[in-house]
Structure 1
Amino acid sequence: MKTNVTAVFDIGKTNKKFFLFDEDYQEIYREYTRFDSIVDEDGHPTEDLHSLQAWLKEVFDRILNAKEHNITAINFSTYGASFVHLDENGKVLTPLYNYTKPMDAKVLNDFYKKYGPKNEFVKVTGSSDSGMLNSGMQLYWIKHTKPEIYDKIAFSLHLPQYLSYIFTGIPLSEYTSIGCHTGLWNYAQKDYHSWVYKEGIHRILPPIVSTETSINMNYNGKRIKIGVGIHDSSAALLPYVRSIKKKFILVSTGTWSIALNPFSQKHLTEKDIEKDCINYMRINGKPAKASRLFLGNEYSLQVKKLSEKFNVPKDFHKSVEFSYDTFFALIKDFNYCFKWDGISDKNMPSQTKFNFDKFEHAYHQLMIELVLLQVESIKTATGDDVIEKLYIDGGFSDNDVYIKLVSHYLRNMELRTTDSSLGSALGAAIAISDTELNSKFLKKNYALKKHVPFIIK
């Protein structure tokens, strides 16, 4: 007898993944691929949309015809800040412009002259001032620098919705893609920002539907529920929101460490903006306050330097466990020692300087300084809210030194770690499901662990 499964395409910048989940959300199949980047008309690297589309179709059709699985639903989770522009015949008009592509300063200056001041705009839209990373700005840029292309656009779809469109032919918009650092949404008005209407851009943005929307379709002779797609960060947050009843902060760690507060009721303040706070959007259209820190990137850079300085293998840092004695010796007369490469901080010295004779001591110093930044980021995301639960997932969730230090410096919070390697893919599967989740879900599916602060001597 065939197993009923939900299929999910989880598309990252590097890895393209396909998963099958059974009715208990257990992963029963996965496959990965990667594509070489192509370049846009300016020579900037970008996604090979043609190869991606061909792979989606090939994988799905193959699995659909497999004898052991019965696909009942499919959804899509992808990175954000990426639009696919279609003409009236559904033909793709431009490359998928990379959000790392520099934007002409004149375009940005013109925009803020019309619709600024910048800080007020950033506050209202919950977006940082980040050029192409604000996907709304991509639309403004195309309209004013490539009018001959803009005039042909019938619909502009964020990438998750474009993947859904490939299978349904129905152009739609949904909240999580619209609300995540796009510059499109006015969080106070709960509608597109007035600039979108003044520029007429709303005409090429398809109707907005709930992220939980699915379309029942006959696909290749089989009845399948097809989701409208979801932004990957919002997808990763969803299982927590659905299964935890009390307020919490989720810290998703990796190259970026993002502290998410899905319970913030207040709009971003000037102070939040200064600290690079933005809003993500939950599937119900409500904001999730997000404080970002380039933690994993900085960690990698500094650990590489330490490994070379102390002449240890490059993976040696992974074996270092927390030492109480080393920690207490360092904080007795604590001084900041590290100058960051990718983070700006008022406490850092003008150059890295220390006189440790062991890698482990330098590593503990590094982790104390990084965790102090992490703690500030968590406090920024928390704001005035009273929140006692803290969840950490991603790359740092199994770093013993990091976890012990966070637990120590945030002793007022109950810290739990989760192993959510499926993260956004599982969230995408849950988004189109009617299943109620409870507190046991994280324990069963996410290897939930509780951590208690160490005793201060």
Structure 2
Amino acid sequence: MSATAVLDVGKTNVKLVLFEGAAIVWQASMPNRPLPGPPYPHADVEAIWRFLLDGLRQAGAEHAIADIAVTTHGAAMALLGEDGLALPVMDYEFEGVDTIEAEYAPFRPSFAEALSPPMSAGLNSGRQIFYQETRCAESFAKVRHIIPYPQYFAWRLTGIARSEVTGIGGHSDLWAMQERRLSSLVTRRGWEPFFPPFVKAYEAIGPLLPAVRAETGLPQTVRVRAGIHDSNGSILPHLISFEPPFTLISSGTWAVIMAMGADPTRLDPARDMQAYADVEARPVPAAKFMGGREYAVILDGAEPGCGESDVAAVMAAGALALPSFVPNGGPFPAHPSEIRGRLPEGPGMRAGLASLYCVLLTDYLLEALGANEGPLLVEGSFAANATYCSLLAALRPYQAVLSSVDSGGTAYGTSLLATWPDMPAREPLHQAQAYRDVAGLERYKAAWRATLPG
């Protein structure tokens, strides 16, 4: 059977995963460590590129690779010159971008146009580009193409620059969501000529460059798919398997809640709600918080495992974790974090508190989105947390909580670009059983909600 190789560039880790159908047959990973600059903190694309080539060479010696597809985190754009990057790929956590807000604000498209809320640091891709244009003018003058991060690696593999909507259509300010075109920001700044032709994420944009074939040993027949934003990769299998309404909770460094079939008019930019564009450019109402990062902060080095008895002890003690534990994103970005009350002693207590925090914030955002119908599909790190899934099932008994039982997650969804819209058979999703003390959980939820700003 032929294999699809997926490069999955997350904010914390980079993976190369080979799929034969739904089965993982080879994988490798490395930490994703940004470089400090100059001219600003940026992605170490050369380390990732070397990791990709080495992995393709090793995996290709063992398996017949037919397709390569790339998925990356969002809020990352590559500005290409004649032969390579004109400017480094900015780390979206670079807070220096905030210094241009007064200059940028008059150009920001309205929320009604872009369904993209104002965000801190570089989490709006358009604000990144504005910073690069105004603060790095000499280098920006060399820009020939602006493409999303997945398409940067596709360009390095094929030499062909293309635009793709999922990488441009997520909290970027670059995309007019309802009109399905580049936004007024792009036209007013004169950036439109920089965006190469659009292709679908699943389109094959070309064969491998001869130099890549020579280094990896892969044949000329390998097809490189355009690539996709990571949260959109996660949702691909479910677009095939489920009819809206349904909601995907895609978790890792970020927890991204994507509510297929929800009403975009409910979106509140003050709560870090926005719409993503799916592979066919349809708006997908969404909300997010930095779930994996916040979980780790609350955990504070303690053991990650916990059970219902640990959760019960935390609730009985009245210990509350209050947002926000990271400054970027989420519905309460300016609210100072706090652990209120005395946390009981024990190895599972911090994990219990962190699980409660994440599930209560998830429930809050589901309610805000109006995502109250259809199944809740949990993938990534939260899917591996049985306590989280059990608590979510108790809070929302009118919705089935289904978690992914495989380890592919975003990478598996991205692998489907090679066969879209066909999907190989895979293991069924696991339905979570609700936490038993529903009344106690509801009281705890009410106490937690009472602490939140209006």
TM-score grouping bracket, smaller chain normalisation = 0.7 to 0.9
User: How far is the alpha carbon of 1:293 from its aligned partner?
Assistant: 2.7
Name the CA distance, whole Å, in 1 between partners of 2:336 and 2:324: 12
Q: Label 1:319 to 1:367 Cα distance change in 2 as closer, same or farther (>3 A).
A: closer
The equivalent of 2:262 in structure 1 is 264
Q: Is the 8 A contact 1:123 1:268 kept in 2?
A: no
Corresponding position: 1:441 with 2:441: no
The equivalent of 1:26 in structure 2 is 23
User: How far is the alpha carbon of 1:139 from its aligned partner?
Assistant: 1.8
| Superposition map of 1:386-405 within 5 A | 387-405=373-391
The equivalent of 1:311 in structure 2 is none
Corresponding position: 1:121 with 2:110: yes
Name the CA distance, whole Å, in 1 between partners of 2:99 and 2:344: 51
Q: Is the 8 A contact 1:162 1:171 kept in 2?
A: yes
Name the CA distance, whole Å, in 2 between partners of 1:93 and 1:54: 20
Q: Is the 8 A contact 2:319 2:342 kept in 1?
A: no
Name the CA distance, whole Å, in 2 between partners of 1:386 and 1:350: 28
| Superposition map of 1:159-238 within 5 A | 159-217=149-207, 220=213, 221-238=219-236
Higher mean displacement: 137-146 or 228-237: 137-146
Name the CA distance, whole Å, in 2 between partners of 1:449 and 1:188: 35
Name the CA distance, whole Å, in 2 between partners of 1:218 and 1:366: 45
2:364 to 372, 376, 387: 376
User: Gapped runs of 5+ residues in structure 1?
Assistant: 308-313
Name the CA distance, whole Å, in 2 between partners of 1:25 and 1:251: 20
Q: Deviations over 1:324-349 (max 9, x none)?
A: 9769x84xxx9674444527769x99
Name the CA distance, whole Å, in 2 between partners of 1:147 and 1:350: 38
User: How far is the alpha carbon of 1:376 from its aligned partner?
Assistant: 1.1
Give the % identical residues: 22
User: How far is the alpha carbon of 1:123 from its aligned partner?
Assistant: 4.2
Q: Label 1:352 to 1:171 Cα distance change in 2 as closer, same or farther (>3 A).
A: closer
Name the CA distance, whole Å, in 1 between partners of 2:202 and 2:245: 22
Computed over aligned residues only, the root mean square deviation of the Cα atoms, in angstroms, reads: 3.2
Q: Label 1:345 to 1:194 Cα distance change in 2 as closer, same or farther (>3 A).
A: closer
1:211 is matched by which residue type in structure 2?
A: A
2:26 is matched by which residue type in structure 1?
A: Y
Name the CA distance, whole Å, in 2 between partners of 1:159 and 1:324: 40
2:19 is matched by which residue type in structure 1?
A: F
Name the CA distance, whole Å, in 1 between partners of 2:239 and 2:98: 39
Q: Is the 8 A contact 1:164 1:227 kept in 2?
A: yes
2:36 to 16, 36, 39: 39
Name the CA distance, whole Å, in 1 between partners of 2:56 and 2:206: 16
Corresponding position: 1:77 with 2:77: no
Q: Is the 8 A contact 2:393 2:432 kept in 1?
A: no
SS of match in other structure, 1:103 = helix
1:441 is matched by which residue type in structure 2?
A: R
Corresponding position: 1:135 with 2:121: no
User: How far is the alpha carbon of 1:207 from its aligned partner?
Assistant: 1.0
User: How far is the alpha carbon of 1:267 from its aligned partner?
Assistant: 4.0
SS of match in other structure, 2:275 = strand
Q: Is the 8 A contact 1:442 1:448 kept in 2?
A: no
TM-score normalized by the length of structure 2: 0.82
Corresponding position: 1:98 with 2:91: yes
Name the CA distance, whole Å, in 1 between partners of 2:84 and 2:311: 61
| Superposition map of 1:348-363 within 5 A | 352-354=339-341, 359=346
Name the CA distance, whole Å, in 1 between partners of 2:345 and 2:99: 51
1:28 is matched by which residue type in structure 2?
A: V
1:206 is matched by which residue type in structure 2?
A: P
Q: Label 1:57 to 1:390 Cα distance change in 2 as closer, same or farther (>3 A).
A: same
1:342 is matched by which residue type in structure 2?
A: F
User: How far is the alpha carbon of 1:74 from its aligned partner?
Assistant: 1.0
Q: Alignment length, in residue pairs?
A: 424
Q: Is the 8 A contact 1:336 1:349 kept in 2?
A: no
Corresponding position: 1:432 with 2:415: no
Name the CA distance, whole Å, in 1 between partners of 2:162 and 2:378: 33
The equivalent of 1:310 in structure 2 is none
TM-score normalized by the length of structure 1: 0.82
Name the CA distance, whole Å, in 2 between partners of 1:145 and 1:100: 17
Corresponding position: 1:112 with 2:87: no
User: How far is the alpha carbon of 1:179 from its aligned partner?
Assistant: 0.4
Name the CA distance, whole Å, in 1 between partners of 2:351 and 2:208: 57
1:342 to 325, 342, 348: 325
Name the CA distance, whole Å, in 2 between partners of 1:367 and 1:79: 24
Q: Deviations over 1:321-373 (max 9, x none)?
A: 3479769x84xxx9674444527769x99964435655478876765555333
Corresponding position: 1:292 with 2:288: yes
Q: Report which of the two structures shows the higher radius of gyration computed on alpha carbons.
A: 1
Name the CA distance, whole Å, in 2 between partners of 1:51 and 1:455: 48
Name the CA distance, whole Å, in 1 between partners of 2:321 and 2:13: 33
Q: Is the 8 A contact 1:268 1:277 kept in 2?
A: no
Q: Label 1:263 to 1:456 Cα distance change in 2 as closer, same or farther (>3 A).
A: closer
Q: Is the 8 A contact 2:247 2:260 kept in 1?
A: yes
User: How far is the alpha carbon of 1:76 from its aligned partner?
Assistant: 0.8
User: How far is the alpha carbon of 1:216 from its aligned partner?
Assistant: 4.7
1:451 is matched by which residue type in structure 2?
A: Q
SS of match in other structure, 2:423 = coil
Q: Label 1:398 to 1:34 Cα distance change in 2 as closer, same or farther (>3 A).
A: closer
1:417 is matched by which residue type in structure 2?
A: S
Name the CA distance, whole Å, in 1 between partners of 2:181 and 2:398: 37
Q: Deviations over 1:241-276 (max 9, x none)?
A: 22223521111234432221122353454xx21221
SS of match in other structure, 1:153 = coil
Higher mean displacement: 149-158 or 220-229: 220-229
